[in-house]
Amino acid sequence: MKTFVVISDSHGRLGAIGKLEPLFAENDGIVHLGDGSADMRRTVSAFPEKTYVMRGNCDAFYGSDEEVIEAEGVRIFCCHGHRYGVKSNLGRLAARAKELGCDLALYGHTHKAGIREADGVLCINPGALGAYADASYCYLVLNKGKATPVIVPLERLS
């Protein structure tokens, strides 16, 4: 079993990331899906082997455009989502995930948390840590080829 903390759209809200730092230490992976990628520099320094940072449309230089993570028999496509029109629908995101052989797609950009299936791909948006929405993240458990995502309001940590 592997566990991941998935966040997105922190937009400079370092306090929100600070609240999650105890979780970062005890989980197997940390994924930031962009728009605030530079907010993760401290986390990358502390946990370089398990931190994945995507670059969003508001990020200039820091992070990857896309990543594929494989753990527990699950292939995960990670991106910010703006290049796939996720504010309109998840079709292009799901198509890219399938093209890469992924069962799961993690994306941000919309600031709206959600777990939906699109064309056989489980698409997960953890929501935003920024000021434009109620703060949330995704706690993702992978076990023997199965993914179990849970959207968690950040207030639960207070």
Residue 157 has pLDDT above 70, yes or no: no
* pLDDT band, residue 155 (cuts 50/70/90): confident
* Domain of 103, in residue numbers: 2-157
Range with the lowest mean pLDDT among 86-90, 127-131, 142-146? 127-131
Whole-number pLDDT of residue 154: 86
Q: How far apart are the first and last CA of the chain?
A: 27
Predicted confidence (pLDDT) at residue 156 exceeds the cutoff of 70 = no
pLDDT band at residue 132, thresholds of 50, 70 and 90?
A: confident
CATH of the domain at 8: 3.60.21.10
Residue 5: name the closest of 152, 158, 139, 143 by CA.
139
pLDDT > 70? residue 158: no
Domain count, the chain: 1
Contacts of 33 (CB under 8 A, 6+ apart): 6, 7, 8, 9, 54, 56, 78, 79, 80, 81, 106, 107, 108, 109, 126
pLDDT tens digit sequence for 62-101: 999 999 999 999 999 999 999 999 999 999 999 999 999 9
pTM of the shown model: 0.95
**pLDDT at residue 54 tops 80:** yes
**Averaged confidence pLDDT in the chain:** 95
In tens, the pLDDT along 19-51 reads: 999 999 999 999 999 999 999 999 999 999 999
